[in-house]
């Protein structure tokens, strides 16, 4: 039996990420970990989150790190000064502060890592993506803006055909939100101090068989 562990939107909360990884690896010796994107902005430790994830996992663990819209904004803001103010206004000020406040201090390895993150992961039973997928468009023809920025109608229950969709992006502090066809793991962890990890049985269709809740201090102010 094998499992996939999916970590919700992190947003600079390296304390919660470290605790989540510790709990996951304490359960099994091997498996797949999917991080759903938005590693940066809003929380205090964007640099530390990337430092932790960039090397991948050790031993028999595998990591699939997906791209979020905030990760894309950070790349754009660093490479194109005309887009920097938009990134800063969306929480990029906190990300930049974790590098000492100087855009030039952000290592190119971090920028390249964020830029080259995958947009989607698909297995026999599920689609893993930051924001969502268009149910009317084949998976290999989905637009990047859909995968990074889609918001489902409130209470929308469907997935993608027979595949369960696992995503984040549209936060609900009381989440996770679970429906027959999709699971939304974003609990605004950077603000609430609640990071959710969905545990999925690779041999079983549908939503999570278990949830790991990692708690830390909420944001101040």
For position 101, which CATH number holds? Answer: 3.60.21.10
First to last CA, the chain: 44
Cβ-contact 167, 196 below 8 angstroms: no
**Residue 126 pLDDT:** 98
Q: Which two tokens stand for residue 220?
A: 């101040």
Beta strands 177-178 and 182-184: pairing type? antiparallel
In a domain, 44, yes or no: yes
Question: Which structure tokens are listed for 70?
Answer: 């905030």
Q: How many domains does the chain have?
A: 1
221 domain residue, yes or no: no
Looking only at Cα atoms, what is the longest distance across the chain? 50
Is 0.95 surpassed by the pTM of this model? yes
Residue 208 in domain: yes
Q: Please check whether residue 146 lies inside any domain of the structure.
A: yes
Residue at token pair 């919700």: 8
In the prediction, which pLDDT does 51 show? 98
Residue 87 lies in a domain: yes
Please give the chain's pLDDT, 221 residues, in tens. 799 999 999 999 999 999 999 999 999 889 999 999 999 999 999 999 999 999 999 889 999 999 999 999 999 999 999 999 999 999 999 999 999 999 999 999 999 999 999 999 999 999 999 999 999 999 999 999 999 999 999 999 999 999 999 999 999 999 999 999 999 999 999 999 999 999 999 999 999 999 999 999 999 76
Domain region containing 173? 3-215
Secondary structure letter of residue 174 according to DSSP = T
pLDDT at 161: 96
In 31-61, which positions are buried (b, 16+ CB within 10 angstroms) versus exposed (e)?
A: bbbbbbbbbbbbbbbbbbbbeebbeebeeeb
Measured distance CA(48)–CA(144) in Å, rounded:
26
Is residue 220 domain-resident?
Answer: no
137 in any annotated domain: yes
**Rounded Cα distance, 183 and 79, in Å:** 33
């Amino acid at each position: 039996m094998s499992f996939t562990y999916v970590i919700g939107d992190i947003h600079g909360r390296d304390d919660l990420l470290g605790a989540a990884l510790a709990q996951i690896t304490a359960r099994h010796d091997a498996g797949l970990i999917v991080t759903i994107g938005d590693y940066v902005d809003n929380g205090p430790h964007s640099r530390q989150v990337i430092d932790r994830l960039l090397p991948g996992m050790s031993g028999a663990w595998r990591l699939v790190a997906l791209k979020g819209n905030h990760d894309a904004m950070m790349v754009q803001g660093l490479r194109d000064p005309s887009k920097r103010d938009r990134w800063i206004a969306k929480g990029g000020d906190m990300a930049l502060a974790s590098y000492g406040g100087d855009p030039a201090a952000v290592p190119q390895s971090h920028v390249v890592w964020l830029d080259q993150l995958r947009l989607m992961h698909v297995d026999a039973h599920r689609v893993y993506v930051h924001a969502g997928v268009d149910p009317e468009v084949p998976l290999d023809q989905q637009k990047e803006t859909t995968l990074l920025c889609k918001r489902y109608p409130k209470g929308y229950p469907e997935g993608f055909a027979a595949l369960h969709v696992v995503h984040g992006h549209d936060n609900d502090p009381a989440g996770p939100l679970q429906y027959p066809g999709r699971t939304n793991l974003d609990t605004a962890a950077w603000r609430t101090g609640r990071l959710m990890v969905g545990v999925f049985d690779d041999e079983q269709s549908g939503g999570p068989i278990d949830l790991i809740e990692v708690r830390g201090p909420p944001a101040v102010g």
